[in-house]
Amino acid sequence: MTETVLTKMVQGAGRLPGWRGIAADWASDQRAFKNVSWGKAMMWIFLLSDTFIFSCFLLSYMTARMSTTVPWPNPSEVFALNIAGRHIPLILIAIMTFILISSSGTMAMAVNFGYRQDRAKTAILMLVTAAFGATFVGMQAFEWTKLIMEGVRPWGNPWGAAQFGSSFFMITGFHGTHVTIGVIFLIAIARKVWRGDFDVGRRGFFTSRKGYYEIVEIMGLYWHFVDLVWVFIFAFFYLW
């Protein structure tokens, strides 16, 4: 197939060939986001910016851990619990991780039923997801309380490197804040779904268009992101 034929095919498809096409794609946001709603595009942009923030936090943590000359506390010992006389390492963190990963499944099902306009199942699954998230935050609060009672502070801890406390409270606190905000929005959107605001197009917060359940998917994007970030925190902070 000759170059002339390829050029005609590309032009026939509405795209310019070569570098002109690349420049046109990058310069035309109208074309790039033509089939994407404003809300979904803004959520993706927000998640991208949040990715940079969490990446900076984790990179700072890894830099501090590798550069300190004082021994770093062993996570298996720090985050262990004594249950029935047995010393079980990371048991609480494992349960928290299981709960948050499970919430991704219920959120995905909520999005599925949302696009089917099954408001009862959508609302119930969103509330179940919110319950998982609230349970996670409650367990994180227990974890914070336990470590504070054992002497962990942002400026030091009884087990070694002083940077451990600041890294722990900064990373887990920032993530816990995201989960808490997600729980609040899940409850708010689930309430609107349950009342049928999306079915009648009732004017209000995210409900001005009749049959418009996309906000459930946008909420799902946020929740899956929060879950994914926890996987990295779990791997780098608790298992390393």
Q: State pLDDT tens for residues 149-202.
A: 998 998 888 888 889 999 999 999 999 999 999 999 999 999 989 988 777 766
Task: Work out the end-to-end distance of the chain between its first and last CA atoms, rounded to an integer number of angstroms.
Answer: 54
Percent residues over pLDDT 70 in the chain:
81
Same domain, 89 and 116: yes
Same domain, 178 and 126: yes
Same domain, 26 and 61: no
Same domain, 12 and 98: no
The mean predicted confidence, pLDDT, of the chain is: 84
27-36, 100-109, 179-188: lowest mean pLDDT where?
Answer: 27-36
Same domain, 175 and 207: yes
Same domain, 123 and 76: yes
pTM, 2 dp: 0.82
Q: Does the pLDDT of residue 107 top 90, yes or no?
A: yes
3-state helix, strand, coil in the chain (%, to 5): 75, 5, 25
Same domain, 59 and 7: no
Q: In this structure, what CATH number is given to the domain that contains residue 134?
A: 1.20.120.80
Give me the number of domains the chain comprises.
2
- Structural domain including 10 reads 1-35
Phi, psi of 206 (to 5 degrees): 70, 15
Q: Which residues pair with 88 in a beta bridge?
A: 81
Same domain, 12 and 92: no
Same domain, 92 and 181: yes
Cβ-based neighbours of 223, under 8 Å, separated by 6 or more: 103, 104, 107, 129, 133, 182, 186
Phi, psi of 83 (to 5 degrees): -120, 120
Same domain, 15 and 103: no
Same domain, 163 and 191: yes
Question: Per-residue confidence at 95, pLDDT binned at 50, 70, 90?
Answer: very high
Where does residue 197 fall: left (phi above 0), alpha (psi -120 to 50 degrees), or beta otherwise? alpha
Same domain, 112 and 212: yes
